[in-house]
Chains A and B, each alone.
Chain A
Amino acid sequence: DTAVSQTPKYLVTQMGNDKSIKCEQNLGHDTMYWYKQDSKKFLKIMFSYNNKELIINETVPNRFSPKSPDKAHLNLHINSLELGDSAVYFCASSQEDRDSSPLHFGNGTRLTVT
């Protein structure tokens, strides 16, 4: 009965490869997000989607492409992986796109690029 689930939990790959991370939420929330957490635990938002529509697109290389097939899913595809992409990527959701809605996080995908 996991609320926000991400797969895979670990991802080890070589530079130049393309990889995807999947996220699903069963909370009935309208808004989903991708956050990146670096090695110093700093969290930075990458994207947000509200009801399948892209709302926030931070200054993220266009090698990163989110896709939301429906409001319960938000996947992240990364092309031409680089060493600096190594981080933990968190998917999150909130009930609606408003400032008082707290975030519900998945357990993260630890990406290691070698």
Chain B
Amino acid sequence: AQSVTQLGSHVSVSEGALVLLRCNYSSSVPPYLFWYVQYPNQGLQLLLKYTSAATLVKGINGFEAEFKKSETSFHLTKPSAHMSDAAEYFCAVTLNTGGFKTIFGAGTRLFVKA
């Protein structure tokens, strides 16, 4: 069965520092993986998705993620954090159970300190 695990429910970085949010997946077949961001009182927005075309995926707002099959990881990074990056981040994978459903990790709350 496919699933995703996000390591760390909370991550705190200083403004300008590297952001690293960890996601590991379990899948018996090449997965479709996604990162979404949720700002307070809003729905989730797609940051980026991996669809096997390239292992390094660039998304919006300067975020990128690298698919590493050997490590079953899809970690999200951003070289320099901005205050506006403070939000909840979700890693997700899509399952085919007779219909396609997206399964989300538990989320990682990113705090950015001035």
In the complex, A41→B106 CA distance in Å? 7
- Are A99 and B100 closer than 8 Å at their CB atoms? yes
**Are A100 and B94 closer than 8 Å at their CB atoms?**
yes
CB nearest neighbor in A for B107? A41
Chain B stretch 49-90: residues in CB contact (< 8 A) with chain A:
49, 51, 88, 90
B28 interface contact, C-beta 8 A: no
Q: Are A106 and B94 in contact (CB under 8 A)?
A: no
For the complex formed, measure the closest distance between the CB of A81 and the CB atoms of chain B, giving whole angstroms: 22
A104 to B41, CA, bound (A): 15
Number of A residues with CB within 8 Å of any CB on chain B: 27
Q: What band does the interface of chain B fall in when counting residues whose beta carbon is under 8 Å from A? A: 20 to 34
A94 to B104, CA, bound (A): 16
Residues of chain B contacted by A104 (CB below 8 angstroms): 46
A91 to B: closest C-beta gap in Å: 8
The secondary-structure label for the interface of chain B is strand
The answer, yes or no, to whether A43 is at the interface (CB within 8 Å) is yes
A103, CB-defined interface residue at 8 Å: yes
Q: Which residue in chain A gives the minimum CB-CB distance to B94?
A: A99
CB atoms of A97 and B99 under 8 A apart:
yes
Residue of A nearest to B44 (CB): A105
CA A104 to CA B44, docked complex, whole Å? 7
| In-complex Cβ contact of B99 among A42, A48, A102, A106 (8 A) | A48
Q: Interface on B for A, CB 8 Å cutoff?
A: 32, 34, 36, 38, 41-46, 49, 51, 88, 90, 94-104, 106-107, 109
Apart from A92-B43, A107-B41, what 6 extra A-B contacts exist at CB < 8 Å?
A: A42-B107, A48-B99, A50-B99, A97-B99, A99-B96, A107-B43
- Using a CB–CB cutoff of 8 Å, the interface residues on chain A facing chain B are 4, 31, 33, 40-43, 45, 48, 50, 55-56, 90, 92, 94, 97-108
Q: Give 20 pairs: A residue, B residue, CB < 8 Å, sorted on A.
A: A40-B106, A41-B38, A42-B104, A42-B106, A43-B90, A43-B104, A45-B101, A48-B99, A48-B101, A56-B97, A90-B43, A97-B100, A99-B94, A99-B95, A100-B32, A100-B49, A102-B46, A103-B102, A108-B41, A108-B43
